Amino acid sequence: MSKVTEINHPLVQHKLALIRDKNTGSKDFRELVEEVATLMAYEVTRDVQLETVEIETPICKTKCKMLAGKKIAIVPILRAGLGMVDGMIKLIPAAKVGHVGLYRDEVTLKPVEYFCKLPSDINERDIIVVDPMLATGGSAIGAIDVLKKRGAKYIRLMCLIASPEGVKAVQTAHPDVDIYLGSLDEKLNEHGYIVPGLGDAGDRLFGTK
Ligand code: PRP
Ligand code: URA
């Protein structure tokens, strides 16, 4: 079974409280989502491979650790996942970015795929799928299905807020995919929204409704 990590760092909790607030407008919402993504990226990349290199300081030669260069891809689930990309690229500037477009049908709550464009070497990359919300889990499961069909092997999922139902669904469908969360919330409501959640992430990011 995959590992679930709740990144409950004080800065993440503080910024999530601001993000959840219904009085936070799109400009601040966007900035906060980006900031939380940067903070979470720090934790999600905790176990990336290092190699020993020799460098010379102004004082002497020494051995240090640097990233071993295993290639990373960030894959936002459109639309709302886009809000997390820049925050991650700040820490991992060499990462490539793939896009999977899915929207959740409002009646069936099932994901509908409409776009997919991935780096050609996706099968070799460590992939971090990003989406602010993991609700029923349908979108994340669908995006991971798409990635695996195209050869992806090493996949993690990073979400700001999740429901217990969504986490369980992803673990059942993809037991090899570790999950990183800013907060595990209480439940889903009868419309498939996370409680307490933050409302509709895409609409709040892009000012649509
Ligand atoms: C939201 C969110 C997730 C999905 C989560 O996207 O960003 O992708 O819902 O719900 P699920 O776990 O029940 O699938 P939405 O479908 O509203 O599309 P958008 O990002 O284009 O607004
Ligand atoms: N999608 C969202 O944007 N918010 C939710 O609470 C559930 C699905």
Delimit the domains of the chain by residue range: 4-206
Going by alpha carbons, the residue nearest to atom 2 of ligand 1 is: 133
The enclosing H or E element of 78 equals: strand 72-78
| pLDDT given for residue 105 in this prediction | 87
Q: Which CATH topology does 4-206 take?
A: Rossmann fold (3.40.50)
| pLDDT given for residue 1 in this prediction | 84
Is residue 105 flagged as an active site residue?
A: no
Does 129 have pLDDT greater than 90?
yes
Average pLDDT over residues 134-142: 96
Work out the burial of residue 201: count CB atoms within 10 Å of its CB; fewer than 13 is exposed, 13-18 middle, 19 or more buried. Answer: buried
Kindly give the distance from the C-alpha atom of residue 109 to the centroid of ligand 2, in angstroms, as a whole number: 10
For the chain, counts of helices (H) and of strands (E): 6, 13
Lowest mean pLDDT among 45-49, 56-60, 156-160: 45-49
193 lines ligand 2 (CB under 6 A): yes
156 lines ligand 1 (CB under 6 A): no
| pLDDT given for residue 133 in this prediction | 98
Q: How far is CA 187 from the centre of its chain?
A: 20
102 lines ligand 2 (CB under 6 A): no
| pLDDT given for residue 41 in this prediction | 96
197 lines ligand 2 (CB under 6 A): yes
Does 175 have pLDDT greater than 80?
yes
pTM tops 0.75 = yes
- Side chain identity, residue 117: K
Beta strands 133-134; 96-97: pairing state: unpaired
Q: Give CA–CA dist 119/121, Å, rounded.
A: 6
On the CB side of 152, CA atoms within 13 Å amount to 28
The residue with tokens 């991650």 is 88
| pLDDT given for residue 176 in this prediction | 98
Give the 3-state secondary structure of 107-148: CCCCEEEEEEECCCCHHHCEEEEECCEECCCHHHHHHHHHHH
Average pLDDT over residues 9-30: 97
| pLDDT given for residue 109 in this prediction | 85
User: What number does the ligand 2 atom closest to the CA of 201 have?
Assistant: 3
Instruction: Tell me which residue of 173, 121, 161 sits closest to 15, measured CA to CA.
Output: 161
pLDDT (tens digit, 9 = 90+) per residue, 50-83? 999 999 999 999 999 999 877 999 999 999 999 9
Q: What is the DSSP letter of 58?
A: S
Kindly give the distance from the C-alpha atom of residue 148 to the centroid of ligand 2, in angstroms, as a whole number: 24
| pLDDT given for residue 34 in this prediction | 98
What is the residue-averaged pLDDT of the chain?
Answer: 96
- Side chain identity, residue 113: E
Nearest ligand by distance to the CA of 136: 1
200 lines ligand 2 (CB under 6 A): yes
Going by alpha carbons, the residue nearest to atom 13 of ligand 1 is: 136
